Each structure stands twice: as C-alpha cells, then as structure tokens.
Structure 1
C-alpha cells in the first residue's frame, strides 16, 4: 500500500536562511484587548511566511476578531526592514514607507466575535525579514511582540518528563515545505497551517533529498515554532527492507535482505539526531513502519491474498528485526514516543487477523533488545480512507433478519469504522501484554467523505445491503481500495484526546501527496507501478476483484497531486 513522500526540491540553504530571518513567523501573536471604543476591538494574528526566495517571499495572514462584531476591517502593521508588497489577494493591501494596511474584500468584511478572515501577499525583501512587532485592527492595538527571539534554535529548550499523552496541551509542528505547497493551491490557505507528518522514506531523507529539508532542519524549525512551549513533532519511520511487500507503488530502496543497512545507515543516524540535547524539549512522535507487520498476517501463504514478496519477508524475519531495532534504538531517547502502525479496520478487523496482528506486534516489540515499554501506542488508518465514525449504522444492527456483518460492505468484519476498531485494538494489545496506558492515534487526513455524496441518514431497510450502502460515509467501491481514492475528503482536523483511549486525531499523511502513479513512470526511487492506482484496473483478491476507484493522471507516490488536493478540500468533512 502506497504511503511515501518526497520532499520538494528547494534550495535548502535559502530555506534555512529564510527561517533565520523570519524568526517566529509560524507562531500566533497573542491578543491584547485595546481600550474601550464604540466597538471593542481585539484580535489574534497568524502571520506566516509560506515560501521565500532570493529577494522575495509569500506570506499568509489570518486575523481572528476577539472583540465585538464588525462589518468591515482594516489590519495595520509596520515592517522592520525594506519589505515592499508587490501583490495581494483576498484583501486590498497598501503600503507607505514601512507602514502597511490590509482592508477587507467585498465578501469577507463581516467578522463576528471569534470569526476569522485570511489573506495573503507577495513582497520583495533583502536583509531583515522579521515578523511585525505589533498589529492594529480598526485602529486599536490588539497585539504586540518584540524583544529577544524566544525561538533561537541555539538555545536548547529544557528537557521534558515523559507524559501520558504527548499531544495534551502541546502545539504540533507545521512542515513548511508541505505548508507552502498547500498554500499555493487555490483555497489551500484554509488548511496550510495544519500539522502533518514528516516522512523519512529513504536514507537520503535524513540529510534532505535533493535540496529539501533534512531531519535536523525540521527539528530546528520545530524548536523555533515551539517557542518554549510543549510541542510535538511527528516523524514517519518508513524504510524497512522489502518495504510494502503487498504493493508496488511504494516499494522502497532497500532489498529484502538489507537489514544491516536499515539498522546502521537509517535507524542509527536518526536515533543519534533525535538524542541531540538541543531537541530535548520536543515531544517526538514516531510512526513506526506503516504497512509492514500486518502483511505478515494477511498476505502470506496459505492465504489467497498472499504475495511471494510477503512470504519472503516472513521467512527471513527482517520486518520483525527491523521494527524491533527501530523501537529499541528510537525508544532509548527519553523524549521519543513510538507509535507502531496497526493497519486499519478494513485490514485487520476480522477475527482471523485481529489477535494474530496483536501477537505479531508483540513479537516485534520484544525483538532486537526492545521491550513492550518502548511502545507508547499504535496508529491506525495511516494514509488510508476508513471513516473515523459511521453514525448511520452499527455492527449490532439487523435488517430483514440479517446482521450488518452479513452485508457485502462489512463482509463479516467486527468493526465498521476506525474509532471503534482503534478502541478495541488498544484493549487487545493490552490483553497480549502491552502496557495498560498505551494510547491510539487515528489518521484523519483523508477520511472525511463529505460533499454531495455524503448520506444524511441511514439507508433504506429493504435489505441489509441497501441499509449499509445507503448510509455509509465511506464511499469507496471496496474497503480494500487504497490508492488516490476518488470522492475522498479531508477528515477531522488534528486534535488531542478526541475520545476514550485516543491520544489524537492526526494528519500523518500530508494531504495532496500521491499514493502512487496511475501509469508506469520510470524513476530511480524503487517505486513500481501498482495496478491499484490505475482507474481502469478491475481488481484482485485483496479487493474482491472490484474496480480500483483511483483517480487518473496521478504522479509517483509522494509527489504533489493537485487534483487530489482540490478534491480533498471540496469533499472535506467537517467542511472547510
């Protein structure tokens, strides 16, 4: 199953120089209420530089009204350097010397208390490009900042004591490379400040692929964004030997036997960087090797879904050894929180797979010197499409004398959505020997299934199939479909502690990054062509010989897929 990303090819030195100039550009400026007036004003401002280049930059600004409702607005600030605005959108931006003002467009002038408006601009700049020190909304000072930069990465933050849920009370890292791509899309500024995972999908990604950011670059920027507060940075550890043995689109660089290279050239350097004392104040969440261990349960002989590649990986034990080694060495860093990938309900929710997967995870968690204590939890639905909650039917419903489990869609699974599955799997993991305090993450980056196709209520009770098919939010043709699914939408926005046993909803998969190419594309990344990414493909035993449901004209896995990003925004639920 395709789950890989490639960093964009930008000049890394220029990017880092821009970050140094921007200082705390990714932060939110805290509101201070101004003096009483006819309409008491107040605001918070998120002023973030989305991209920069030699001599210029692009900025996104979001202003939230914390005072009385207004029917029009004007935001003012002063640049500290020689910045000159050259183009604006979603507002009228004017400048006189260093003084800048942005007034609302005709359609976004009304701001109720708590409402927000967003706009952006391009500008030229050389030298200092610091965040404006103060803003005014409708003439009233609503926030100020200044003084010593609190996010200087040369000043290590204090070390954290391990907490039960790393997301509680913490900010979460916004990847500036993904954020810039999202913001460049029409309407993308609505979500470009959401936190997403950083995918380390090959050895070269540790230093930075091409001119992209490397691991240290991301961690330095995370320290900068943290500004001394509790802060999570999310990493995807994804480079096992013989990776993704049941799919071709995201096969990796390491062959089935290259376990030593994985350990010494991939895991060891990552662990060494994470152990640097300058990052001790971060809460580093690792998602460990998606699409690996469940394959050793479901896609090996004598299953009809077996592949020769998965049989090889089970026989040589390198998935078990690799995951155990990663958990042991990454888990030795005090501020690292390991979450092992646990598939999704449409993969291991069946009786034959459920306990067997938990046992397999325990085997890996106790391999290569690791222990179950080095597993902080599990993540489900990574880069997949299963609905978080299906509200129109439950596994206990019956129609016309038949259980929902007998429907073609559910197909005797014991779970109908990711949240019920995650909560049950958490308990199963505890039952087989994992600590009772483990938590779960659910990737909601692409499982919203909104738009016009979203059912408003249960399906007709003509039969169990009409009932389930008419009411299900997940509109895939089959639960086994995984590649660039047509009709998908952004899901719940990232949040901490959304339900019992769930540490967070996360966007571990950055929306807009392809699952795999819809046709053969020669490449040097080891990524093959998987027919499940071809919209004309009629299926295989793993999706019960259904159509793939994939979008056409898709690029290689990890490359930016604008059409998919636009579809995800269009079908977002909750809506944008």
Structure 2
C-alpha cells in the first residue's frame, strides 16, 4: 500500500495557535523554550550557552526543575544542523542523528524542586551552529510553565484519564486506553499463538462508504464507537480512506469512487462520518483519524513528469481532488473537539530524499490551509501499512566505509534517512518550518516492521565495502525499499505505546497484522480492488523498485482480507519477540 520513491528530494486547543517560540536570552545562545506537552506537577526551564570557534564549540545546558523532585532525569533535544557531540560531562550523553539524550550521571540522579543541573559538552559542526529550539526533561517540554498535567510515556492499556468533554489534549494517546477492535482480536486469537497479541489496539479501516454502516454483517462506525465506550477506552483509531481515484499509483488498494466523484466523497463518506463522530455521546472519546493514506505523497512522486509517474496520478494532480478531498475531511472532522486528524507522510523509503521531502511538506501545509486552518491537523503518521524499520541499530546515515558514505550504498541510494524514527522526527521539523504548530506530534505504524527471525543481524556488517556494510547490518530485510506488498520475512514490530520518543505521540498498529496488502493473483471482486503485480511473488519489478523482485508472499487474498500465513510469519519474526 506504500509505494517506492521517485528519487533525487483547552478547552485546551491542541496544536492550533502556536504554543510559543524560542526567545533569545543571551547573545551566546541561551534560550528559553516554549511549547506545551503533557506528568503531574512537572515543569522546567533550560538555558543553553555556547562558546563557538568556527567548526567546533562547547556548550553548557542548565536545566532547572520547576516541578516535583525527580529521582532520575533525562534531558533531550534535537540539533537543527549537523552538530555532533564528541564528549560530555555532568551527564551521560548519547546521540542518534540530530537527537541528543543526556541521562543523569551515576553519582547524581536526584533533582530537587527548583534545583538545577548543568551538563556540558564539546561538539563539532559545519555550516551554522543554531541553538536547539526545544528541550524536554523526563518528557516534559521546558517552557517555564507548571501545573498543566502531562503524562509520561505510558502503555495504551493503562487506565484512561480522559479530559473533560470538549477539551483537546496535546497527545491524545497519553494516559488513555486505546480501543481493541473485537473483530480483528477474534481473528488473531483464533491463530495458534495469536492470543499473545490479540489484546493490542489496531486501526478501524473505513475504506468504502458501506463500511460506515458495516459490511456483510460486520461492525459499522457506531458499533465500534459504542464498543469503545463499553471497553472504557479513551482513544479509538479510524482510517479514513475512500478518496476519489484512490491510490493512483497502485491497483491492489484502488477504491470505489472515480477520479471526479468528489461530491459523493463529501456527502456520502465524510459527512456521515463527521455526523456520527460528533454525536454528544462520544464527546469524551478521543477519535484519532488517519486521513487518506497514500494520496498526497503520490502527487509529489508519481505525477507531473516524474520518471515513476502514472496516468492515474497525473489525472488526480490535474483535477486537484486529492487536495480538495483531504482538505474537506480535515475541515469537517477538525471542527469536532474530540477528533485528532493525522495526515499520512509516506515513509522514509518514499519521501526521504531532499526533492521529495521538502515539496511534500509544502503540499501538506497548503492542503491544511485549504481546510481553513492548520489547527485542523493534530499531527502526521509515517509507515502506515508499510515495513520500514523503526530504528537501524547497526548503521547510521553519517557512517562511511573506506571513505565512502552509506548514502552511496545501493540500499540507501542517497536517501537522508535509514529508518522511520529519524525520518519522522526530521519531517516534523520540516513541517514546523512550513507553519505547523511546534506541538504537532508524529505517529509511526510499527505493526509489521519488526524484522526478527534468523535473518535479523546481530551487529554491523563487514567493512569491506559500503554495500557489504549496509546489507550485512540492516534489520530491514526487504529486497528493495520500494517493495510494499505482503513482504516475506517481516515480523511484528514494537507494541503500541504512547510518547515513546521526542516528537512521537505514539507507536501504533494502524494496519492490523494479518490483513493482506493485496492479492498475489487476480481475484474478481466487487470491492473496487485491482490486481497489482507488486503483490505477485514472481514479479520482477518496475522503475519504482528499480526492477527488483517484489518480495511478496504467495497465495495472498484481496487487500484487507485475512491472511493467516502472513499473520503466523509476523508472529514468528516479531521483534521484540512475542512472549
């Protein structure tokens, strides 16, 4: 369902008006940082003071705890440029890409109320040496405020702590139990060993008009919302997925509406969803909507003269109905105080190149503006129904072998990112730069990106050449980053979890594990779903995956239908392993 790149680029109002901007305190680079995030009696300030001599610098990071006493502390920030920490003091430093984590030293974990600590470090850089714009202490953004309860990273199965009806929160997943779809849960539990994960929350896919009322006797939207209330859930996750001319670069997930049927999309699909979601009985339920995956990224990479352009995507780019449809959905659903809209941003193997990422962010900003306000957007989601590794532990984008950058390897192919988390965090900064609120959060679909099993490496690859190094150390074992359909060897990824990393609202299982991406051979159907050769294990590929084999599993059913063999493989290869 995710396609390869065309390469070579409260009421607390949530994320609406800007929560604040970095204010310069000292010419040397001290800043006070602003923004709201959600733990009891938590708060902090940071003064960042740098001493710069051109290509190197030292910095002191004074953090003051304005909340309750802490028995341990972790300070985090993202660099704006290519700064690298070379050594540090008064804390244990770690860096991954732009992201820096400083944990308390072993001799000094306690941080009393109103007390300060000042970890410092020496670093290198090229270009500009801009001070970080945002710091967090134990997950709380250091903006000088206190008393706004914010929740530390939690498992979605913790007891819910819902806000009053009508209030939006910074992170809808924080402190909330997430709805478990009983239809998916029953299928998972019926599989050998499936009971171990059958209680995990997954997305509810509204992929055609009939799904609103329920298909073939299945649950409709109201049924799911009522069941969520019955479970005592605080969050339910919906995939809103029926645009005109849907999924223009593939066939397996084509939809029921033709390219010009925008009015039907509005009146028969979005309006009924909004009406049901707006029922006052659901006002205390946080409704997360994943809005029209695959659509806007396709306009960047697969239309308008790109080498991977398709005729269908050219049609949708010309008529503007993707942007108009998404904007309408954002407007109608964003008007509801209990709805949190997240827009799809593909994945790092699709939009991670400079000439894809920047234009995509701008298109997202323009589309949000078409909806009337960027505040209709709560955040963005990456890797929906895809297989990109959450983190690559054994190689990084800055590595080189014998003087050759990993970006020159066949696998990375000049991409800027090697995994989903670094991509999500970087894309978030790009979106903020394009006018979205500094509090936007990201979701990462980890339902099928675990890549466990015997093929998972246990250390870096050999340093004989850059391809051996990358191929030997990468956990993502696909044949090519552009392969997306029912990938052989995949495993369940990280379990759903709230606030797992800076800027990440949650790891989620939006694609229910065990549901097919598409049929491996042509199957006549009345669901509008075509046969895509990328789901055929014998297919030798196309320009969008550089003519590699598809890597798909055999004997797959139509997209969305249960695929027992895939579910069993995901269980076997789960990483972390299923206990």
What TM bracket, shorter-length normalisation?
A: 0.7 to 0.9
C-alpha deviations, 1:25-53, integer Å up to 9, x for none? xxxxxxxxxxxxxxxxxxxxxxxxxxxxx
* 2:368 counterpart of 1:365: yes
The residue aligned with 1:397 is 399
Q: Give the TM-score normalised by structure 2.
A: 0.72
Contact map agreement 2:304 2:317 (CA 8 A) in 1: no
The residue aligned with 2:24 is none
1:491 to 485, 488, 493: 493
C-alpha deviations, 1:426-485, integer Å up to 9, x for none? 000000111111000000000000011100000000000000000000000000000000
* 2:301 counterpart of 1:298: yes
**1:103-114 matched pairs, under 5 angstroms:** none
Inter-partner Cα distance in structure 2 for 1:488 and 1:562: 14
* 2:283 counterpart of 1:280: yes
1:427 to 426, 429, 450: 429
CA positional deviation for 1:371:
1.2
**Which structure is higher in RCO with an 8 Å CA cutoff and minimum separation 6?**
2
The residue aligned with 1:330 is 333
* 2:483 counterpart of 1:477: no
Inter-partner Cα distance in structure 2 for 1:522 and 1:420: 40
The residue aligned with 1:199 is 205
The residue aligned with 2:22 is none
Q: Give the TM-score normalised by structure 1.
A: 0.72
Structure 1 residues 157 and 473, CA, compared in 2 at 3 Å: closer, same or farther? closer
Contact map agreement 2:178 2:234 (CA 8 A) in 1: yes
Contact map agreement 2:2 2:346 (CA 8 A) in 1: no
Q: What is the root-mean-square deviation of aligned Cα atoms in Å?
A: 1.2
**1:312-461 matched pairs, under 5 angstroms:** 312-367=315-370, 369-461=371-463
C-alpha deviations, 1:351-375, integer Å up to 9, x for none? 11011000111111122x4311110
The residue aligned with 1:246 is 249
2:268 to 258, 265, 268: 265
Contact map agreement 1:246 1:295 (CA 8 A) in 2: yes
CA positional deviation for 1:401:
1.2
Contact map agreement 2:2 2:384 (CA 8 A) in 1: no
Contact map agreement 1:392 1:458 (CA 8 A) in 2: yes
Inter-partner Cα distance in structure 2 for 1:314 and 1:366: 18
The residue aligned with 1:164 is 170
Contact map agreement 2:291 2:342 (CA 8 A) in 1: yes
1:174 to 153, 160, 180: 180
* 2:222 counterpart of 1:219: no
Inter-partner Cα distance in structure 1 for 2:192 and 2:390: 27
Name the SS of the counterpart of 1:433 in structure 2.
Answer: coil
Inter-partner Cα distance in structure 2 for 1:2 and 1:449: 17
CA positional deviation for 1:160:
4.9
CA positional deviation for 1:301:
2.8
Inter-partner Cα distance in structure 2 for 1:570 and 1:552: 17
1:566 to 560, 565, 568: 568
The residue aligned with 1:183 is 189
Contact map agreement 1:157 1:278 (CA 8 A) in 2: no
Gaps of at least 5 residues in structure 1 are: 4-155
CA positional deviation for 1:161:
1.5
Inter-partner Cα distance in structure 2 for 1:261 and 1:531: 30
Contact map agreement 1:2 1:516 (CA 8 A) in 2: no
**1:116-135 matched pairs, under 5 angstroms:** none
Name the SS of the counterpart of 2:296 in structure 1.
Answer: coil
Contact map agreement 1:205 1:215 (CA 8 A) in 2: yes
CA positional deviation for 1:157:
10
C-alpha deviations, 1:279-328, integer Å up to 9, x for none? 00101000000000000000013111000000000000000000000000
Gaps of at least 5 residues in structure 2 are: 4-161
C-alpha deviations, 1:185-225, integer Å up to 9, x for none? 01000000000000000000000011000000000000111
Q: Which has the larger radius of gyration?
A: 1
C-alpha deviations, 1:161-199, integer Å up to 9, x for none? 210000100000000000000000010000000000000
What stretches of structure 1 move > 4 A for 4+ residues in a row? none
CA positional deviation for 1:395:
0.2
CA positional deviation for 1:2:
6.5
Name the SS of the counterpart of 1:286 in structure 2.
Answer: strand
Inter-partner Cα distance in structure 1 for 2:360 and 2:325: 17
Inter-partner Cα distance in structure 1 for 2:426 and 2:514: 30
